[in-house]
Amino acid sequence: MELEIDLTVENGIQYFKVTGEIDAYTAPSLKERLESVQDEIGIQVELDLSGVSYMDSTGLGVFVGFYKRVTASEGHMKITGLNARLKRLFEITGLDEVMEIESEKGGTQNATI
What was the pLDDT predicted at 37? 85
Range of the domain at 69: 3-109
What predicted TM-score, i.e. pTM, was given to this entire model? 0.87
61-98 per-position pLDDT tens digit? 999 999 999 999 999 999 999 999 999 999 999 999 99
* Alpha-carbon distance values, 62 to 11, 28, 37, 99 (Å): 25, 8, 14, 13
- How many structural domains does the chain have? 1
What's the pLDDT tens digit per position in 4-53?
Answer: 999 999 999 999 999 999 999 999 999 999 998 877 899 999 999 999 99
8 Å CB contact between 60 and 52: no
pLDDT at 38: 79
CATH code, domain with 82: 3.30.750.24
How many C-beta atoms lie closer than 10 Å to residue 106's C-beta? 7
